[in-house]
Amino acid sequence: MTRTHATTGDTELRHMRRALHLALEAEAGGNLPVGAVVALGGEVVAEAGSAVLLPFYHPGRHAETEALARVPASLWPRSREMTVYTTLEPCMMCAGALLLHGVGRVVFGALDPLGGAGEMLARLPAYYEGGAGAPEWIGPVMPELCDPLFRRVLAGFDALPCGKSNF
């Protein structure tokens, strides 16, 4: 696993801005403000916002898993070339999904020091020893815009059945 703070190029910033737009769109629709874009060869091949709260409560419908589910199946043989852009550092579930889908890179806007899976990727099961096969983990690349979204996600998440208020 590599964790870097590399600056992204124009195309990457465009994808991040799209993810941000999807996050705000999700929030306007009553969901948590997280957005994700899957890009291949510089083009967007799938995108989604969080759908945890609406149209009905479903704790597994994170922006990243929603976007992965929308990738055309014919493109999966090229998963190593894919980058997932997301407004928030992926959680354990999404990091697991990204790893098992063979996604090559993850670029995230805001660091999640409470639930982000970056630390987990440093201690993977034996098959992935040393981070082998794990996506390159790049971020936070847009904290000034995405940190406020993270704070709103956290405020909404704590009260959910899967959140801290119900531990």
Which residues lie near Zn ion (CB under 5 A)? 62, 91, 93-94
Angle at 78 between CA 21 and CA 89, to 5 degrees: 40
Report the residue number, 9 or 26, with the smaller CB distance to Zn ion.
26
Report the residue number, 7 or 138, with the smaller CB distance to Zn ion.
138
Report the residue number, 63 or 141, with the smaller CB distance to Zn ion.
63
Beta strands in 17-118 (DSSP E): 35-40, 43-49, 82-88, 105-110
- Least distance (Å) from Zn ion to the CB of residue 64? 5
- Least distance (Å) from Zn ion to the CB of residue 92? 8
Report the residue number, 129 or 158, with the smaller CB distance to Zn ion.
158
Helix boundaries (H) for 102-142: none
Nearest Cα residue to 91 out of 19, 144, 36, 26: 36
- Least distance (Å) from Zn ion to the CB of residue 123? 18
Contacts of 111 (CB under 8 A, 6+ apart): 89, 118, 139, 140, 143
- Least distance (Å) from Zn ion to the CB of residue 94? 3
Active-site option among 64, 81, 89, 136: 64
Helix (H) or strand (E) holding 137: strand 136-138
Token pair for 145: 């815009």
Task: Give me the helix-helix angle, 10-28 and 143-157, nearest 10°.
Answer: 30
Active site residue 47: no
Catalytic residues: 64
